[in-house]
Amino acid sequence: MDQQQERAGAQVPPAGDSSAILSVFLAFIGIFAMILIPSASNINSSLSILHQVPEGHVGVYWRGGALLDTITGPGFHLKLPLITQYEPVQVTLQTDQVTDIPCGTKGGVMINFEKIEVVNRLRKEYVYETLHDYGVQYDKTWIYDKIHHEINQFCSSHSLQQVYIDVFDQIDEKMKDALQVDCTQYAPGIEIISVRVTKPTIPDSIRQNFEQMEEERTKVLIAIERQKVAEKEAETDKKMAISEAEKNSNVSKILMEQKLMERESARRQEEIENQMYLARQKSLSDADFYRLMKEAEANELMLTPQYLELKFIEAIADNTKIFFGDKVPSMIFDQRLLGSFLQEVSKNISREIRAAA
């Protein structure tokens, strides 16, 4: 009986041993949770060993409050719990919205910019330098506070008319240039991409005046546009009239040129006909002259004393009347004297014909 009790007491573990096993088991569970379950909160991230850096960010670490030069990319990484703190820093494009920015214009009117958006980026190679100099909230120094300063500087040097209307379209570029100049000099890792400025809020009384002035300006612009349209229409009508007149003038010119060409053609035709007529008449005259010359030459050759004597005798022979008297014998038989006379006459006739030719 005593031996059985002793064996049973040896099999039952003491209460202190079971609690120790439970403590070790819970410790392993805690370590396992810290290693394998990363946390996003700052408190739990200091306890965890495994942590995750999201895409578009880099991991930055502090040990004992000192910034480490270790920069990690997106993904899972290990760190010492409770000793090393971790913070994700965005290195892609981000938009910072600066709201409720009061400022006073050159004339003393208080206006308020409800929202200004600044698109910026922190370059990855400048993360350590920028965070070392300005901390994780670097954008508060170089964007939020800087926007307030630059807007107040801009308003104080411009009137309400200029800020609200005249140079409002230039504020975006001016703010971008002002931010980038200082960032390039003091925080080169910060790149300002663009700045979008909303219309400022002004007092109601002044806003009504501006609205009324804008309405009047719109009416003036409408009147100017109507005048331009009327001028364009008048100019179009004028151009159409000029075009029509030029067309009529060109048509008249063409018709006149056509008539002149017809008259010129008729004149040339008449000249050609006259020349042909003159040439024909000249040819006829030359032919007549040639004929007369030949006849004259023939007559000159024919007018010999013998021929004249023959013609005289033939004429006497053909005469049916015979006259008797004292002069008849000398008239009939003195043919030589008559032939000489006729020869002299023929020479005179020939000379006159040559003179006339």
Shared domain check, 193 and 96: yes
- Is residue 130 domain-shared with residue 194, that is, in the same domain? yes
Using one digit for the tens of pLDDT, what is the confidence trace for 95-124?
999 999 999 998 888 999 999 999 999 999
Same domain, residue pair 262 and 308? no
Same domain as 123, residue 149: yes
User: Considering the domain boundaries, does residue 27 fall inside one?
Assistant: yes
Among the ranges given (142-146, 157-161, 238-242, 310-314), the one the predictor scored with the smallest mean pLDDT: 310-314
Residue 269 parent element (H or E): helix 204-302
Final residue of a structural domain among 57, 89, 121: 89
The single-letter DSSP state of residue 14 is P
215 and 274 part of one domain: yes
CATH number of the domain bearing residue 124 = 3.30.479.30
DSSP character string of 167-210: TGGGHHHHHHHHHHHHHHHH-TTEEEEEEEEPPPB--HHHHHHH
Six-digit token pair at 261?
């060409």
Residue 91 clears pLDDT 90, i.e. is over it: yes
The range of the structural domain enclosing residue 351 comes to 303-356
Each residue of 121-173: pLDDT tens digit?
A: 999 999 999 999 999 999 999 999 999 999 999 999 999 888 888 899 999 99
Among 63, 89, 115, give the residue marking a domain's end: 89
Per the structure, how many domains does the chain have? Answer: 4
Q: In what order do the strands lie in the sheet with 84-90?
A: 66-72, 57-63, 84-90
Tell me, yes or no, whether 262 lies in a domain. Answer: yes
Tell me the whole-structure pTM to 2 decimals: 0.51
Question: Quick check: is 6 in a domain?
Answer: no
The pLDDT-based confidence of 53 (bands split at 50, 70, 90) is: very high
